[in-house]
Amino acid sequence: MATHPSDMCVALAALGATVFVEGKNGQREIAFNDFHRLPGDTPQIETDLQADELIKAIEILQNDFVANSLYRKVRDRSSYAFALVSVAAALELQNNVIANVRIALGGVSHKPWRAFETERSGHRRKFQARS
């Protein structure tokens, strides 16, 4: 199985986006982290989207991550569009203390990979701004 090639999806995973879909059974919401699937027993099914559903919108709730966010990717050559590996990281600061951390990785799995354990370990740490 190939790794997931999208830059945008890594950022959407880090920001906790929601996918709004509609099909013959009506509308539903899918947390972005649950939208892409791991191969398991059905490697031909890459998303949680049903055959008759259409993506209507993707929503990112307003948050304080924009001021302290970063996306980086490493490519084999600059002429290649997709990343060998990428990271989307964002911090929410309150009085120079990290209140919330978001980290998603690309190029490491069949789907954009949220680093939940790493995020939990980063909470409540003092942030020292660079000079």
Structure confidence by residue, pLDDT tens digits, 79-121:
667 778 899 999 888 888 888 899 999 988 889 999 998 888 8
Nearest to 107 by CA among 70, 74, 71: 74
pLDDT for the residue numbered 45: 85
- The answer, yes or no, to whether residue 61 has pLDDT greater than 60, is yes
pLDDT of residue 48: 92
How many Å from the N-terminal Cα to the C-terminal Cα in the chain?
A: 44
The residue-averaged pLDDT of 33-44 equals: 89
Phi, psi dihedrals of residue 74, rounded to the nearest 5°: -110, 130
CA dist 7 and 119 (Å) reads 20
